[in-house]
């Protein structure tokens, strides 16, 4: 509801894909089949994708970053802090006690080059060694997919638009993350759009009310028409 209302609030969602606090039960972001003390035969629940969830809840700013990439983390947090309204930042975080290595494919320098898709506003979405892989729109389904870049498809590489009015493409980008293997996971700012901020609108409404009706009288309101006495 905070996201829907666009309250001026910054939400940092530390996702380690486990309940570490209570010593290692599966969480709403654990992969299917997760074996923990509470799920000895493997968990049955399909996980949430927090970025998809936030975009679906009408969030005006949604980003993802990784705990070990200090530069990226800092840059994303700066943008979130400057955003007017609610910002949600998912931070992939390692829990070295109860879920060690959950995001290793995205943290290890060599593997990360092949697995991490860095979203940058206004830039073509390419990744991998020599930018050999890219995100394109599949003309048959309208969905997004990852392809090897060739001379023939280079012109069709998707250019990231974090400020797009429609959340559709940001949502499609959020679906590229593969919870099982993490073999292509977008990080960065998926969506950053400006719309009315709840706090600002409410302050304006209060000012308007005072202007139109004069300052309210709380005591008079409390002792107003609808009062009754409870017999003692």
Ligand X SMILES: Cc1ncc(C[n+]2csc(CCOP(=O)(O)OP(=O)(O)O)c2C)c(N)n1
Contacts to ligand X by CB under 6 A: 14, 16, 19-22, 95
Q: How far is the CB of 122 from ligand X (least distance, A)?
A: 34
> What's the min distance (Å) between Cβ of 23 and ligand X?
8
Q: Are strands 126-127 and 133-137 parallel, antiparallel or unpaired?
A: antiparallel
3-state secondary structure 73-113: HHHHHHHHHHCCCCEEEEEECCECCCECCCCHHHHCHHHHH
SS3 189: strand
> Could you count the other beta carbons within 10 Å of the beta carbon of residue 187?
23
Helices (H), the chain: 2-5, 50-56, 70-82, 104-107, 109-115, 168-174, 198-213, 218-222
Give whichever of 91 and 172 is closer to ligand X, judged by the CB atom.
91
Q: How far is the CB of 58 from ligand X (least distance, A)?
A: 24
What is the Cα Rg of the chain in Å?
23
Residue 95 or 158: which CB sits closer to ligand X?
95
Q: How far is the CB of 106 from ligand X (least distance, A)?
A: 17
CB of 13 to ligand X, least distance (A): 9
Question: Of the two residues 17 and 184, which places its CB atom closer to ligand X in the complex?
Answer: 17
Residue 182 contacts residue 106 (beta carbons within 8 Å)? yes
Q: Which is nearer to ligand X, 15 or 185 (CB)?
A: 15
Nearest approach, Cβ of residue 107 and ligand X (Å): 17
CB closer to ligand X out of 5 and 17:
17
Question: What's the chain's length in residues?
Answer: 232
Asked if residue 86 lies in contact with residue 7, where contact means CB atoms within 8 angstroms, the answer is yes
Q: Give yes or no for a contact between 13 and 57, defined as CB atoms under 8 angstroms apart.
A: no
Considering beta carbons, is residue 21 or 44 the nearer one to ligand X? 21
Least distance (Å) between residue 15 CB and ligand X = 8
The answer to whether residues 67 and 93 touch, using CB atoms and an 8 Å cutoff, is yes
In three-state secondary structure terms, 15 is: strand
Closest to ligand X by CB, 30 vs 60, is: 30
């Amino acid at each position: 509801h905070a996201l829907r209302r666009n309250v001026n609030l910054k939400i940092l969602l530390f996702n380690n894909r486990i309940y570490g606090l209570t010593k290692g039960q599966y969480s709403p972001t654990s992969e299917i089949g997760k074996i923990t003390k509470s799920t000895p035969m493997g968990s049955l629940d399909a996980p949430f994708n927090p970025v998809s969830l936030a975009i679906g809840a009408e969030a005006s700013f949604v980003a993802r970053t990784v705990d070990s990439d200090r530069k990226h983390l800092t840059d994303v947090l700066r943008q979130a802090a400057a955003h007017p309204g609610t910002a949600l930042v998912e931070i992939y975080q390692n829990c070295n006690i109860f879920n060690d290595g959950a995001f290793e494919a995205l943290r290890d320098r060599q593997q990360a080059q092949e697995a991490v898709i860095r979203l940058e506003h206004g830039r073509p979405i390419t990744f991998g060694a020599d930018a050999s892989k890219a995100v394109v729109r599949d003309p048959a389904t309208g969905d997004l997919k990852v392809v090897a870049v060739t001379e023939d498809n280079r012109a069709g590489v998707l250019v990231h638009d974090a400020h797009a009015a429609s959340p559709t493409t940001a949502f499609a980008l959020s679906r590229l993350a593969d919870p099982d293997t993490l073999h292509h996971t977008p990080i960065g700012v998926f969506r950053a759009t400006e719309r009315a901020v709840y706090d600002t609108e409410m302050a304006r409404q209060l000012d308007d009310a005072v202007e139109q009706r004069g300052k309210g009288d709380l005591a008079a309101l409390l002792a107003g028409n609808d009062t009754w006495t409870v017999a003692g």
